Every structure is written in structure tokens, then in C-alpha cells.
A and B are shown apart, each in its own frame.
Chain A
Amino acid sequence: MLLSILIRLENLAWFSDLRSSAYVYPVVLALHLTAISLFGAMIVATDLRLLGWALPEVSAPEITRGLRTGKRIGFVLAAGCGFILFAAKAEEYYFNPFFRTKMLLFALVAIHALVFRSVYADSAARKRGRLAAWLSLVFWLGILCAGRAIGYVAGRPGMHYR
């Protein structure tokens, strides 16, 4: 069911054109990495503040507030470009163990956001703040490495590319 939807997705004219394009695909990839840089550093900056390693004179909630919009824009950009890259090779990615790892880590990030929501709004929660920061750094670094590893798994023969 899911697989047949993915095969349809990658065979949409847009995405099959993208797959065979020598220049558009790397442009989307470069935009993906640019967005990751912008978004990633905002995550790290927030986590460094929670750990007390940067801007200790500014409260953690103030950093969170200041970077909230930027993080949202950065994430939408990175995820949007990521989706386009995925859609061009949806079937191959579906079977890719590192892509699956990356998606699993995204689920953990979502749970993390729900569990530690209060930490980012409350400067009193220091011990939980450190735990939240470490977990966030580990998850996002894992996502980065899993993402890079996706490209090292060869697609299987008999993919439904048109």
C-alpha cells in the first residue's frame, strides 16, 4: 500500500524529471545542506545555552523565543528540500536502512519536543534542561550522520523507475 503510493510519487513527471536532471538535483541538495547549517546551528545554540556553555547571561527561554521563528523557517526549508530529494527516489529510500533510521530519529525528536516542552520555556528547570540538551544534540547528530549514509547504500535492481 505505502510502497505503491511511493512508486506513484516518484513517477510523477516532476520527480522523475528531477531524478534524471544533472543540475537541479544537486541544487536542491545544496539548499538542503544550507538549511541544515542554519537550522542546526540554532538547535546547537539553544542546547549550548541549556548546558550553560554559551550566553549564560541570557535566560534560556529568551534564546528559545528569539530563535523560534528562525528554527521553524529553517526546518521547513530543510524538510521541504529533503522531501523533494526523497520523492525523486521514494522507492529506493523506502528500502534504505539509513533512511529508516533517520525517520525513526525524527520520531524521537518529536517525542523529545513533547516531553521537554516545559524545559525550553522555564529557566528554573536546569537539570532537566541539561538532559534535554544532550538528547537533542545526540538525536540531531544521528540524523545528520544517517542522512549522509543514505547515499552509500546502492538501490536494488528492479526499481520501478520510469
Chain B
Amino acid sequence: MLIENPLSASPSAYPVLECFHIAGFALAIGMTALVDFRLLGFGLLRQPPAQIERAFRWWTLGGLITAVFSGLLIFSTDLDMYYLNWSFLLKMAVLVIAIVFNYTIHRQPNRAPRLIAGISLLLWTGVIFGGIFIPVALAGPG
């Protein structure tokens, strides 16, 4: 490789990025889940779902941006490994669907609120599982 990735030079860069990544996705996924649980009939029941969504909209976006950017930096440390990894590819596919779903259908959950909440929770949980299984996929079966 012609250009040395400066992140690979420091042994603490990777875990620090992971902390940003976890804090970011926890904020984004958890804040979205506050809306999902409200749609399912749990949590902040005195507030309408739209009010909860509005109140945490920018925090959710901030968490998502933090997670995506730290994720891109983590990705940049070992491109060859990631782009062949089935768990990573699955995670990226589910992530794109989850983001599109979140900013389209999830914004107008009036028709089938419980179904939309369930799909949202499933998609974001799927993204977490996809991430955790990246090293498992690397090791191969058995």
C-alpha cells in the first residue's frame, strides 16, 4: 500500500473509535426505540409519539452521524477484510434499509403503528448483530 493509514500506527486509535461507535449507535438506536416503544404502548405514554420523535430527532441524527463516521474510520483500517466479510455486507444492507425506513415510513406511523415499530426494532437490532458477528464471520464456520 502506498499510503499508510495513520489510524493503524496507534494501538489505542481502534478501541477509542469503537467507543465513539458504540456511544453513537446506542444513542441513535435507543432514541428511535423510545418512539417504537411508545408506538407499541410502552414508555412515555402521556406524550404522543410525534412529540417524542421531534424532541429527540437531532440527538438521534447526531448519534447516527457519530456512529457512521467512526464506523467509516474503523472500516478504513482494514478495507480488504471488511468488504469480503458476509456479516459486514449484511450489516451494510440492513443499515441502508433501516436508515431509509427511519426517515420515510417511520416518520408517518399512523397507519400501522405497531407493525412499523416492530420492523424498526428488528432492523436496528439486526444492524447490531451484523456488527458483532464480523469477527465470527472472519474466523469462518466451526
Contact = CB atoms under 8 A, between A and B. Distances in A.
Interface residues of A, number: 33
Interface string A48-80: 100000110010001100110110000000000
A105 interface: no
A41 B27 contact: yes
Contacts of B29: 34, 37-38, 41
A40 interface: yes
Contact of B33 (A22, A38, A58, A62): A38
Secondary structure of the A side of the interface?
Answer: helix
Contact of A34 (B128, B135, B139, B142): B128
Interface size grouping (class) on chain B: 35 or more
Secondary structure of the B side of the interface?
Answer: helix
Contacts of B56: 45, 54
Interface of A: 22-23, 26-27, 29-30, 33-34, 36-42, 44-45, 48, 54-55, 58, 62-63, 66-67, 69-70, 141, 144-145, 148-149, 152
